[in-house]
A and B are shown apart, each in its own frame.
Chain A
Amino acid sequence: MSQVRTVGVALVLLTVLILPAISAPVAPQPGGTLVIGRGADSVTLSPYASAAPDAEVIAHIAETLYELTPDGRIVPRLAESLPRMGPDGRSMTIRLRRGIRFHDGTPFDASAVKWNFDFILNPENRAPFRAILLGEVTGVDVLDPYTVRLNLRRPFVPLLAHLTHDFLAIHSPTAVQRAGGMRPPTGEPYGRQPVGTGPFRFREWVRGDRIVLERNPEYWGPSKPLLDQIVWRVIPDDGARVLALEGGQIQVAVRVPPRETTRLALNRALRIERTSSVRTIYIAFNNQKPPFTDVRVRQAFNYAVNKRAIVQTVLGGAARVSDAPISPGIVGYSPIQPGGWPYDVNRARQLLAEAGQGGGVNVTILHPTGRYVQDAAVAAAVQAQLRAAGINARLQTMEWAAYLAYTNQPPDRTPVEMFMLGWGTVTGDADYGLYSLFHSSQWAPNGFNRFFYRNPQVDQLLDQARSETNAARRNDLYRQAMTLIWRDAPWIFLHSESQVTGLRREVEGLVVHPTERILAHTAWLRR
């Protein structure tokens, strides 16, 4: 009897001690509240949104017709299938899913889609992203209750990628009216109480403090939300945010500073995730100002900077050396020079000598402080490295608002020689990352070509790619354009940032998207 008992006890002990250790992944558990700490609050949760802190909250409440997956594919969401292009490329027909309702109970259908797009397209409403996202759309037709057609000014293939953008998410027209409409510039009063079709419903927003969403039990999608609530808390100080994570007051901390990662890696209650971002960091030359009008000088600067060392040391490995003007994960990306622009000081000196600058170059480099990860430290590293090639760089920084204005002057007035900036290709399509920056029609202050680059061949390739419907041919056009840009070297091509996110161990299924949004649609908490 006692032997049986002993064996029994031993078996129970074995089960208790060993089984949890060898048990495979636990099935997702419903319930719980996920608290995400981030540095900035949202401004509006309406189509008047203009930044990532808005987008990542909207993405849980209101859905887009298409979705950009973290690996850079476009898949249908509220649409039933990929769109059909008209024979002349000047229309796009989209079939919608049936049986979906907004959180207020009203149906999602073609008229709701038309209402949303019409609102943004109406210039009087002054939606900030109208020109960028829907600039080529002239109107929307309802073909039947579940089919819409977008009419285009000219063939414009990037539109499909634009439709994945959270600023084009479909909101409930009834809810907008009930809330009292949307007024520019920020979509008040609706922008504080959004209603969509998404897996989470809006619950509360205390400005500067927190936004609370709750599970939508009637969510239509195949993967049901598991969390009871998602809370975004604003903790502006990087150090304080990390401490709140260590103390367990929040379960996710965004933008963990590189200096903290080594220490946090030792904490068994936490894990650190590094996710690539579509944000490319560069130092641009004023391409219209000597000596930077000479391609040899621009190339020499690229040879003189050791990007790999900067990524390894200054950024603690939390970045990827640029091998093209845009980052991986963007439709149309291909590596132009694998490994990045080579580091070769002798070649830099030689090119400078050939360009008649052998006696040394004096230049001022502008950089922001605190806008991008370690931006000031990166600029200082570049300055030190340039010295070895006989380039004497002076660093100058300014506060962000002033910086934006200062670098946005027309070519005949700007005093700028070199400046650091970043560009996030948030539509996930190369057009947004290349046309806006390198096309000569986009010279500042009209567009974002603040470095006054002009190459007629590049212009032509970028124009062509906009209307090329064949994906392979379109990729090839972008590859050609990027090869020319790379050789012309209008920038020092630095790196694309990684997003460093701190999570408590119990957090599962969270997606850190390359477009710099935290997505908790399928997240759950292990208990």
Chain B
Amino acid sequence: MEGAGGHRPPLIREGPVGRYILKRLLLAIPVLFGVSVVVFAAIRLIPGDPAQIMAGQAATREVVEEIRTALGLDRPIPVQYLYFLRNALRGDLGRSLFNGAPVVEELAQRFPRTVRLALASMLVAAAIGIPAGIVAATHRLSWVDTFVMILALAGVSIPVFWLGLNLILVFSVRLGWLPAFGHETWRHLVLPAVTLGTASAAVVARMTRSAMLEVLSQEYVRTARAKGVPEGRVIRRHALRNALIPVVTILGLQLGTLLSGAVLTETVFAWPGVGRLLVDAVLARDYPIVQGTILLIATTFVVLNMLVDVLYAFLDPRIRYA
């Protein structure tokens, strides 16, 4: 990871930001189209019949056939895909095969909860990861550095459900400070955000450390020190601002991961977001929900990547769109 991401090449150095964004958005169309084809085909190719699951083990074949016809699952898959595409372009992602709820409605209800959890986790990741990385870099090869890096290794290695259950055990069951599940208030957010943010904090700490080390060895830092600039000021003004560029990239990409990878955290804390929705839908072969959720996640990734690139240029004076 040492130094990685520090030289992310900007895609466009010239032209107005607006044109750049437009181009990125146009590029997103074939990406999302490809995703929709793959998801549509893949979920139908794995064995398991939604009509059978819906009807229950005990249903007669007649009932299963009736349900399959009612759901339009008896039509050839390419035909089903064309129907899906036509409706999707109109903003209609269909209805859940199981509870009949419109997919768009379901996502609109759950996505904000996942966003809330992801943003809070990112806050945790940044608040812990950046200071830890700075401390490790400024105390390079000392016991502080070793300690922080061991913690970081533990952070990425600990399974989410183990950490989550232990946090519940300590802060909810033993101390009674925070609720074990639910999503109504900010107090409900603390434990899941720490659980989900820990691994990202570890990644951010390692990235901050290596970026800081790289910057601290630059000549302008040596010059600043030679001029007698106080060490604190060297670190804040001269080193940190430049070291943050790759860190911002990593944070942006982590946000994408947090938005789509919160499945285990959402399960442990009974947090009804899109991660759990997706897993439940895959297990139940609820095709429209699977398609809608994955499209949403893919869109989120595309948009976040674009924002990171724009922000990147904003932070790095060497990169300009205009």
Q: Is the CB of A50 within 8 A of B168?
A: no
Q: Is the CB of B61 within 8 A of A240?
A: no
Instruction: Kindly list the 7 A-B residue pairs having the minimum CB-CB distance in the complex, ordered from nearest.
Output: A401-B48, A208-B272, A188-B100, A235-B270, A247-B173, A402-B47, A186-B100
Q: Is the CB of B55 within 8 A of A50?
A: yes
Q: Is the CB of B283 within 8 A of A399?
A: yes
The interface residues of chain A lying within 8 Å CB-to-CB of B172 are: 243-244, 247, 249
**A108 within 8 A of partner (CB):** no
Interface residue ranges of B194-248 to A (CB < 8 Å)? none
Q: Is the CB of B285 within 8 A of A401?
A: yes
The interface residues of chain A lying within 8 Å CB-to-CB of B56 are: 50-51, 128
**A7 within 8 A of partner (CB):** no
Given the contacts A208-B276, A234-B272, A244-B181, A185 and B47 also touching, CB distance less than 8 Å: no
CA distance A207 to B50 in the complex (A): 20
Q: Is the CB of B176 within 8 A of A247?
A: yes
Contact with A along B34-58 (1 / 0, CB 8 A): 0000000000001111101111111
**A445 within 8 A of partner (CB):** yes
Given the contacts A186-B99, A234-B272, A208 and B53 also touching, CB distance less than 8 Å: no
Total count of chain B residues near the partner, CB < 8 A: 53
Q: Which of B53, B173, B176, B270 touches A233 (beta carbons < 8 Å)?
A: B270
Q: A234-B272, A243-B172, A401-B52 are in contact. List 11 more A-B contacts (CB 8 A).
A: A43-B98, A44-B100, A128-B54, A131-B63, A184-B67, A237-B161, A240-B164, A240-B168, A243-B169, A246-B173, A247-B173
Q: Is the CB of B67 within 8 A of A126?
A: yes
The interface residues of chain B lying within 8 Å CB-to-CB of A448 are: 57-58
**B253 within 8 A of partner (CB):** no
CA distance A44 to B54 in the complex (A): 11
Total count of chain A residues near the partner, CB < 8 A: 49
CA distance A399 to B284 in the complex (A): 10
CA distance A208 to B67 in the complex (A): 23
Q: Is the CB of A447 within 8 A of B60?
A: yes
**A408 within 8 A of partner (CB):** yes
Q: Is the CB of B98 within 8 A of A186?
A: yes
CA distance A405 to B54 in the complex (A): 12
* Most chain B CB atoms below 10 A, which of A51, A208, A248, A404: A208
**A259 within 8 A of partner (CB):** no
**A239 within 8 A of partner (CB):** yes
**B300 within 8 A of partner (CB):** no
CA distance A132 to B57 in the complex (A): 12
Q: Which of B97, B106, B181 touches A207 (beta carbons < 8 Å)?
A: B106
Q: Is the CB of B100 within 8 A of A185?
A: yes
Q: Is the CB of B67 within 8 A of A249?
A: no
The interface residues of chain A lying within 8 Å CB-to-CB of B54 are: 50, 128, 185
| A42 nearest CB across to chain B (Å) | 9
**B110 within 8 A of partner (CB):** yes
Q: Is the CB of B180 within 8 A of A247?
A: yes
Given the contacts A128-B54, A401-B283, A243 and B180 also touching, CB distance less than 8 Å: yes
CA distance A447 to B63 in the complex (A): 11
The interface residues of chain B lying within 8 Å CB-to-CB of A246 are: 173
Q: Is the CB of A401 within 8 A of B53?
A: yes
**B59 within 8 A of partner (CB):** yes
The interface residues of chain A lying within 8 Å CB-to-CB of B270 are: 209, 233-237, 240
Q: Which of B47, B59, B164, B283 touches A406 (beta carbons < 8 Å)?
A: B47
Residues of B within 8 A of A (CB): 46-50, 52-63, 66-67, 70-71, 97-101, 106, 109-110, 161, 164-165, 168-169, 172-173, 176, 179-183, 267-270, 272, 276-277, 280, 283-285
CA distance A184 to B55 in the complex (A): 11
Q: Is the CB of A405 within 8 A of B52?
A: yes
CA distance A467 to B147 in the complex (A): 77
The interface residues of chain A lying within 8 Å CB-to-CB of B267 are: 236-237, 240
Q: Is the CB of B101 within 8 A of A207?
A: yes
The interface residues of chain B lying within 8 Å CB-to-CB of A239 are: 161, 165, 268
Q: Is the CB of A399 within 8 A of B48?
A: yes
Contact with B along A224-254 (1 / 0, CB 8 A): 0000000001111101100110111100000
Q: Is the CB of B165 within 8 A of A243?
A: yes
The interface residues of chain B lying within 8 Å CB-to-CB of A423 are: 57
| B68 nearest CB across to chain A (Å) | 10
CA distance A43 to B164 in the complex (A): 28
| A99 nearest CB across to chain B (Å) | 35
Q: Is the CB of B180 within 8 A of A240?
A: yes
**A4 within 8 A of partner (CB):** no
Closest chain A residue, CB of each to CB of B110: A208
CA distance A184 to B50 in the complex (A): 14
**A457 within 8 A of partner (CB):** no
CA distance A244 to B161 in the complex (A): 15
| B190 nearest CB across to chain A (Å) | 14
The interface residues of chain A lying within 8 Å CB-to-CB of B179 are: 247, 249
CA distance A401 to B286 in the complex (A): 11
| A415 nearest CB across to chain B (Å) | 13
Interface residue ranges of A171-196 to B (CB < 8 Å)? 183-188, 191
Contact with B along A18-53 (1 / 0, CB 8 A): 000000000000000000000000011000001100
Given the contacts A236-B267, A401-B285, A185 and B63 also touching, CB distance less than 8 Å: no
CA distance A255 to B164 in the complex (A): 20
7 A-B pairs, CB-CB below 8 angstroms? Answer: A44-B99, A128-B67, A131-B59, A186-B100, A208-B272, A244-B172, A401-B50
CA distance A137 to B2 in the complex (A): 74
Q: Is the CB of A240 within 8 A of B181?
A: yes
**A147 within 8 A of partner (CB):** no
| B7 nearest CB across to chain A (Å) | 42
**A440 within 8 A of partner (CB):** no
Q: Is the CB of B99 within 8 A of A131?
A: no
**A1 within 8 A of partner (CB):** no
Contact with B along A427-461 (1 / 0, CB 8 A): 00000000010000000011110000000000000
Q: Is the CB of A240 within 8 A of B268?
A: yes
* Most chain A CB atoms below 10 A, which of B54, B55, B101: B54
The interface residues of chain A lying within 8 Å CB-to-CB of B180 are: 240, 243-244, 247, 249
The interface residues of chain B lying within 8 Å CB-to-CB of A14 are: none
The interface residues of chain A lying within 8 Å CB-to-CB of B62 are: 131
CA distance A317 to B322 in the complex (A): 74
Contact with B along A119-147 (1 / 0, CB 8 A): 00001001010111000000000000000
